[in-house]
Amino acid sequence: MNSVRHLAAALIAAAIALVALAPLAEAATSSRCIAMAQGLPGVTYAAWRPAALNDGEVRITFVGHGTFRIESSGGVTIATDYAGSAGRGPVPDIVTMNHAHSTHYTDFPDPGIKHVLRGWNPAGGPARHDLTVGDVYVRNVPTDIRRWGSAVREKDGNSIFIFEIAGMCIGHLGHLHHTLGSEYLALIGQLDIVMVPVDGSYTMDQAAMLEVLKLLKARLVLPMHYFGPTTLSAFLSQLDEAFPAEISSSSTITVSAATLPAQPKIVVLPDGGYFSLE
């Protein structure tokens, strides 16, 4: 879990000025995350919850694969990369999905889910989501994917979903298959927490994914899509003291602005307890 390279990340300020995907930028004009990245005033913060959360807290539980259960202090529950299971607890209010593989979506979501947000547009073109539910604001930034079993690139086949809760900006990269240029960085804006696939094959190689993390500069990084200890260890072995990592004993973490690390940090949440990371 020790080793190698320096996080050099001084690109994002210049990248934010370049907005190439104008229609999506218009949809995100109410985003605090983009305002933060552009250095505009007006910032507050948040964290996760499962039973009783204090104001300004959010609770995140790693259900497994690409699915996190996110709970706001206002009682809104989200499940990411929902394929039919959202872990223990009530049916989520919001689910997000990506269709790179069947393990990241379902055509038959629970009918009790009020908001089903697909990261692709079945009718063609990019998916567009701009939704406020209680104390949660959700938007997406489409990215491309490779079609399963081929090198053919599907335009706008994936979405990075961004959840803004009490001023905190939380990004789920979904099934990200390519690095992020300035036009994507401008639309994503500032992230405080990022959920990142680290499998190194089905999405993209681990070195490239580390470059993405350097550009995003989120203070809390939650790995996902790591399948097991071997792949996870390979990812962690590429980090050094500039990007410290720890393995949590619990699949759940409660976060607030006050408890966010001052510098980027990776925290591994066990995959729903399905295997040991030791």
Q: What is the domain-level CATH number for residue 191? A: 3.60.15.10
The domain in which residue 213 lies consists of 12-268
Are residues 141 and 187 in contact, defined by beta-carbon separation less than 8 angstroms? yes
**Could you tell me if residue 1 is inside a domain?**
no
In this model, does residue 47 exceed pLDDT 90? no
Q: Which of 181, 170, 245 is nearest to 7 (CA)?
A: 245
In this model, does residue 8 exceed pLDDT 80? no
Return the percentage of the chain with pLDDT > 90, whole number: 39
Residue 37 vs residue 162, higher pLDDT: 162
Are residues 246 and 237 in contact, defined by beta-carbon separation less than 8 angstroms? no
**Could you tell me if residue 115 is inside a domain?**
yes
User: What is the pLDDT averaged over residues 77-103?
Assistant: 85
**Could you tell me if residue 258 is inside a domain?**
yes
Mean pLDDT of the chain: 78
**Could you tell me if residue 146 is inside a domain?**
yes
**Could you tell me if residue 276 is inside a domain?**
no
**Could you tell me if residue 2 is inside a domain?**
no
**Could you tell me if residue 3 is inside a domain?**
no
pLDDT band at 12 (very low <50, low <70, confident <90, very high): very low
Are residues 161 and 193 in contact, defined by beta-carbon separation less than 8 angstroms? no
In this model, does residue 278 exceed pLDDT 80? no
**Could you tell me if residue 213 is inside a domain?**
yes
- The per-residue pLDDT for range 204-252, each reduced to its tens digit, is 877 888 888 899 999 999 998 787 788 888 888 888 776 899 999 999 9
pLDDT band at 131 (very low <50, low <70, confident <90, very high): very high
Please tell me the total count of domains within the chain: 1
User: What is the pLDDT averaged over residues 100-116?
Assistant: 82
